[in-house]
Chain A
Amino acid sequence: DTAVSQTPKYLVTQMGNDKSIKCEQNLGHDTMYWYKQDSKKFLKIMFSYNNKELIINETVPNRFSPKSPDKAHLNLHINSLELGDSAVYFCASSHDLTSGRTNEQYFGPGTRLTVT
């Protein structure tokens, strides 16, 4: 009954590999996000999709590509992994902000990516 789920929870891979992280939410939300949390716990937005449309695309290397097959899923694909990509990646979701809704975001459990 987890509201926002991510797979895998841990991902260890070598430099140069390509990997994907999957996210699903069952809250009926229209908007989904990817965040990166570094070793100092700083949370930084990477991407956001609203109704399958990209609405936030921060300064992220183009090796990172999000894909939203439907409103309940937002996957993150990373090409040519680098050491600096090691971090915890969080998926989140929220309601659409139309009709005066607040931007209360619900987070998944995170995926710890380690690049060796």
Chain B
Amino acid sequence: GESVGLHLPTLSVQEGDNSIINCAYSNSASDYFIWYKQESGKGPQFIIDIRSNMDKRQGQRVTVLLNKTVKHLSLQIAATQPGDSAVYFCAENMSNDYKLSFGAGTTVTVRA
């Protein structure tokens, strides 16, 4: 399943499929990006980050892709599991700036 375009608020994915969550960021001066996962009733949890000198970074079952030309960030989740159901946020940041700017969030629902 994939959220296409600038941003879709919801994404429904079949268990076992790969998920792609997209995010468009606004500030061309941003050079650090984070993906957070927020489960129901909990705080946002760090998943993976990427600096602007990279275009791809992999973690455990997750990959973040950064396209600075079009100011686009994506999070790919391999073999989506029921525990991946949550709201996912992208956040952008400039060096030496304490302020993180969060995107609107995408709610991912995993179908059994």
- In the bound complex, residues from chain B placing their C-beta under 8 Å from that of A4 are 43
Interface size of B by Cβ–Cβ distance < 8 Å?
25
Residue from B46, B49, B93, B96 in contact with A106 in the complex, judged by beta carbons closer than 8 Å: B46
- Could you mark each residue 84-99 of chain A with 1 if its beta carbon is under 8 Å from any beta carbon of chain B, else 0? 0000001010100100
Q: Is B42 an interface residue (CB 8 A)?
A: yes
Residue pair B102, A102 in contact (C-beta under 8 Å): no
CA distance A48 to B98 in the complex (A): 8
CB B47 to nearest CB in A, in angstroms, measures 11
Q: Is A115 an interface residue (CB 8 A)?
A: no
- In the bound complex, residues from chain B placing their C-beta under 8 Å from that of A31 are 98
Residue from B45, B49, B96, B105 in contact with A97 in the complex, judged by beta carbons closer than 8 Å: B96
CA distance A39 to B3 in the complex (A): 22
- Could you mark each residue 12-33 of chain B with 1 if its beta carbon is under 8 Å from any beta carbon of chain A, else 0? 0000000000000000000010
CA distance A107 to B41 in the complex (A): 13
Residue pair B96, A109 in contact (C-beta under 8 Å): no
Residue pair B46, A103 in contact (C-beta under 8 Å): no
Main secondary structure of the interface of A (DSSP, over half): strand
Residue pair B105, A41 in contact (C-beta under 8 Å): yes
- In the complex, 26 of the A-B residue pairs with CB atoms within 8 angstroms, ordered by the A residue number, are A31-B98, A33-B98, A41-B38, A41-B104, A43-B89, A43-B105, A45-B100, A48-B99, A55-B98, A56-B99, A90-B43, A90-B44, A94-B98, A97-B95, A97-B96, A97-B97, A97-B98, A102-B32, A102-B93, A103-B93, A104-B46, A105-B46, A107-B43, A107-B44, A110-B41, A110-B43
Give residues in B with beta carbon < 8 Å to A. Answer: 32, 34, 36, 38, 41-46, 49, 51, 87, 89, 93, 95-100, 102, 104-105, 107
Give residues in A with beta carbon < 8 Å to B. Answer: 4, 31, 33, 40-45, 48, 50, 55-56, 90, 92, 94, 97, 102-110
